[in-house]
Amino acid sequence: MGVNFSKDSIESAYCFFHQKLRVYEFSHRHTQRDNIEYAISQYVDGMTPALYQLLANGTPHYLLDHTAFEQDMHHAIELLDGMM
């Protein structure tokens, strides 16, 4: 797969995901966690498709499935960190 995204898009995604995950991990309010999941889904909708596809690696509903959200976030941050 050719690189169809910029270093800025990698850094932007990393920063946004990292910040949201830190709040998500320490939040005990379900509404706040739901709002973070919604914010990530909106970010994913506007994300460079090639970068999202690389992160998802074929996983359906990557970063969009409530039951796997936190695990997906950790995975995405780890991959993005390695790309910077």
pLDDT tens for the chain, residues 1 to 84: 456 788 999 999 999 999 999 999 999 999 999 999 999 999 999 999 999 999 999 999 999 999 999 999 999 999 999 999
**Token match 């932007």: residue?**
12
Residues 6+ positions from 38 with CB-CB distance below 8 Å: none
pTM of the predicted structure, to 2 decimals: 0.91
Write down the domain spans for the chain.
Answer: 7-83
Q: Looking at residue 2, what is its pLDDT?
A: 56
pLDDT at 3: 65
SS3 6: coil
Question: How far is the CA of 79 from the CAs of 31, 34, 72, in angstroms?
Answer: 28, 24, 11
